[in-house]
A = this chain, B = another copy of it.
Amino acid sequence: MARRYVSIKEVAARAGVSFQTASKVLNGGNVRVSAETAARIIAVAESLGYRPNTVARSLVQQSTATIGLVAGDITDGALSQFVVAAERTARGHGHAVLVGNLAEGGEDGAAVVQMLIDRRVDGVIAAAPQLEGDLQVAEMLRRYVPAVSLHHVPGGGVPLVGSNHRAGARTATEHLIQLGHTSIGTVTGPFRRHVVRSRLHGYEDALRAAGIEPDEDLAAEADWTPGTAAAATRLLLERDRRMTAIFVHSDAMAIGVLSALALAGRRVPADVAVVSCDDMPFAPYLTPSLSSLRVPFGETGRAAVELLLRSIAGEPAPESTVRLPVELIVRDSCGGRGASTSPPYLTSSSASPAHREKQKEDS
């Protein structure tokens, strides 16, 4: 247990120079020091295991090289992909990431942001739809620290990064329409969420473009969990027996939707076609394999951090939302690949798994 940090003064003393000189050699840039002296200092530093104290450095430089990340539910695969990518890019740029996970409802949003500000993070990334309506948090992000947000911030003033959910939803719905469906339901996230409304708009756009008038009864709200999604599905089935397709707002919910359909004796895609959003890694392996909109969470995380770092560096933020493209991945659950009218497990749907498998951390 060494557990004591060696300071630059000790290095300097052992090298026979002033600590400031050592500082210049070790951490500063190009300074006028003789080659031998520099070499000596470096040698001593190495032998002593010197590591600059970033805390002290932060104090004088008035910058911590740290960004704060206030996160909603990381447990959600989508957000976690975002977070991982964000942290890695930040680290790639020499920045560390301080995270705060909100309580379930996000009621501690202001406290979390305050804690990040108190720790003098150089900027904050907000990735928590729960905070969409939080005026206090919005004000903090606007005034006290450079910020980038993944979700809508009331009052604006904070650059946004995200995907074009409206376009994505439209694409998904159009695909179902092309397959001949005319009674298309949707299982959504909470209506009050921006993403959800965008997707509903995209869904309606597609329907109207095809001359189908959207029916309120065909939209059922859930809360992103499989359980509520299953309940929403049952509701849809009760309301309209003729419904032959469902557009689901997340893969996790799609699991619940598939479950409810199975329990109701509806075959997928023969009786009901399903398209979802997120394209989580498990999507190809559900039964039937799940068609889904691929949302570039990793890309988004990277983009958010890069935007934030530029903003910290003083570059003006873009006035409009940075939008990343989504892409529809067609698999069996929508029947768009010409598979199955028979139950999926009797189909030798060769193409479904195995492709695009991410070689995972082999933990």
Which of A's residues lie within 8 Å of B, judged by CB? 1-3, 5, 51-56, 58-59, 64, 66, 72-77, 80-81, 83-84, 87-88, 91, 96-106, 112, 114-115, 117-120, 128-130, 143-145, 189-190, 193, 223-228, 230-231, 252, 255-256, 258-263, 265, 267, 281-282, 284-287, 289, 343-349, 352-354, 357-363
Contacts and interface: CB of A to CB of B under 8 A. Distances in A.
A26 to B, nearest CB: 13
Nearest to A260: B353
Closest 8 CB pairs of A and B: A262-B345, A227-B357, A129-B363, A226-B285, A73-B361, A259-B285, A225-B360, A223-B362
Given A3-B144, A80-B74, A255 B230 contact: no
Contacts of A357: 225, 227-228
A255 B227 contact: no
A56 to B, nearest CB: 6
Contact of A227 (B73, B226, B354): B354
A96 B120 contact: no
B96 A362 contact: no
Contact of A363 (B51, B119, B120, B128): B128
24 contacts: A3-B144, A5-B120, A52-B118, A55-B55, A55-B64, A55-B119, A59-B59, A74-B83, A77-B77, A84-B101, A88-B103, A102-B361, A105-B361, A105-B362, A189-B362, A225-B358, A227-B285, A227-B357, A230-B354, A256-B285, A259-B289, A259-B353, A261-B345, A263-B347
B353 A119 contact: no
Given A118-B52, A357-B225, A349 B263 contact: yes
Contacts of A1: 143
Contacts of A262: 287, 344-345
How often does this chain occur in the complex, in copies?
2
Contact of A119 (B96, B118, B285, B343): B96
Given A72-B361, A287-B262, A59 B51 contact: no
A5 to B, nearest CB: 7
A2 B362 contact: no
Given A73-B363, A76-B363, A189-B363, 8 more contacts: A54-B120, A75-B84, A87-B101, A91-B115, A98-B98, A226-B282, A231-B354, A267-B345
Contact of A359 (B2, B193, B223): B223
B228 A255 contact: no
A281 B96 contact: no
B287 A287 contact: yes
Contacts of A101: 83-84, 87-88
Contacts of A352: 259, 263
Contacts of A258: 285, 287
Nearest to A230: B353
Contacts of A55: 55, 58-59, 64, 119-120
A52 to B, nearest CB: 7
Contacts of A104: 359-361
A259 B281 contact: no
Contacts of A83: 74, 101
B144 A227 contact: no
